[in-house]
Amino acid sequence: MSEDKGKENESTLSRKKIIINLIVVLIIGLVINIVISFFADFQETFDTLKTVNLFFIVKVFVVFSMAYLIDLIRLYIVTLSFHKKIKFKDAIYNTISYYFMSNITPMASGGQPYQIYHLTKLGIESTLATNIVLSRLVENLLFSSAVILIFIRRVMSILGRIGTGKYILIIGIIAALGFSALLILLFLNPKLIYKLFNFLLKIFPLKNKSKFEQRLQKLENWLEELKLSIKTLWVEKAHIVTFDFILGGFIVFFHSLGLYIALTSITSRSYSILEIFILFIIMNFVIYYIPTPGSTGGVETLYGIVLASFMPGRFVSTTILLWRFATYYLQIAFEGVILLMTRTKEKGVST
């Protein structure tokens, strides 16, 4: 009975946190957009809004939402390769929950842990669930890093057109590439995490050292299983990883296409799809370090600084306002509805 109460309290607390984060997201977004409008000419922004065919918001929303379908396919392909079957409803919930939790947690960091948690609730081993989710992250970092390095001349050309904001982007690119290298190293050799904790245990004196040693032993065993799971996917099922990698690249492309549609629809100018694609990847390297729910506020500010170098100033605030509405606020609303529709309750535990 007390266990059920504990679970109920935990679920209520979780709902409260989600509601609080949603409120914070809305407040920060509203404040930032007011600030951007304050620095821009409000009348000019209003006049621009009147000339824009707002149907493009639907286009941006649909293009951006292609990621849900692609990620759903990716989840099915990888889990089936390990002979794991997931109900369609659960697969949708897991896919959408990743985006929803990312959108409402600081630095967009809550999506992956929640995905792992949900997959384990569906009966998938924690090592396999972690492998599936981390593999996607590593693939995304590899893809983005490869694009930056392959098109380094284009990257330098784009950075050269930006004012003082380019230094923020350069720092972000260097930090992201360094983080990518570190994460890939840990991914290839997970036992480095155990060695790190073991080293710290030897340095710092602890009262109940034997208890921590037991936990470390469990961690070592778990990391060994994770390493075997990673090897199975990346070596024995390399064709699955390759296909998953390509699909992940399409997600980045569709997300950048949303920005391209917004720019061309609002300014009526022509832009290079490749250039916007590269710019989008560069920006993504930076915005995930912004410590607000879903990086709210920081995204609007940074895009405002950068886009000012790519279009007339009168279009900047309108572009950010409408693009962000279609790719963030509308997405949260859509994700929330889908999660409520696919929500399940099993063995007293609500997902």
Q: Encode pLDDT of 26-47 as tens digits.
A: 676 666 666 665 555 566 666 6
How far CA 67 is from CA of 137, 258, 331, in Å, comes to 14, 11, 11
Higher pLDDT: 110 or 226? It is 226
Q: Which of 126-135, 174-183, 261-270 has the lowest mean pLDDT?
A: 174-183
What digits encode the pLDDT tens for the residues 170-214? Answer: 887 888 788 888 888 888 888 788 788 777 777 776 667 677 777
Cβ pair 68, 99 in contact under 8 A? yes
Structural domain range at position 317: 2-350
Give me the pLDDT at residue 97, please: 92
pLDDT bucket at 3, cuts 50 / 70 / 90: very low
Amino acid, single-letter form, for residue 122: L
Question: Into how many domains does the chain fold?
Answer: 1
> For residues 25 and 69, which has the higher predicted lDDT (pLDDT)?
69
18-to-6, 8, 110, 166 alpha-carbon distances in Å:
18, 15, 11, 34
Q: pLDDT band for position 65 (50/70/90)?
A: very high
pLDDT at 2 > cutoff 60: no
Residue 350 has pLDDT above 50, yes or no: no
For residue 5, how many other CB atoms are within 10 A of its CB? 9
Listed residue (269, 263, 251, 256) closest to 320, CA to CA: 263
Are residues 318 and 266 in contact, defined by beta-carbon separation less than 8 angstroms? yes
pLDDT at 36: 61
Burial of 259 (0-12, 13-18, 19+ CB in 10 A): buried
* pLDDT score recorded for residue 21: 66
**pLDDT at site 202:** 72
Task: Give yes or no for a contact between 290 and 298, defined as CB atoms under 8 angstroms apart.
Answer: yes
Reply yes or no on whether the pLDDT at 293 is more than 90.
no
CA distances from 226 to 138, 139, 214, 329 (A): 15, 17, 18, 36
Amino acid identity of residue 181, one-letter, is: A
Alpha helices in 151-287 (DSSP H): 152-161, 165-188, 191-203, 209-231, 238-267, 273-287
Q: How would you label 202-226 residue by residue, b for 16+ Cβ within 10 Å and e otherwise? A: eeeeeeeeeebeeeeeebbebbebb
* Residues across the chain: 351
CA separation for the pair 50, 161 (Å, rounded):
29
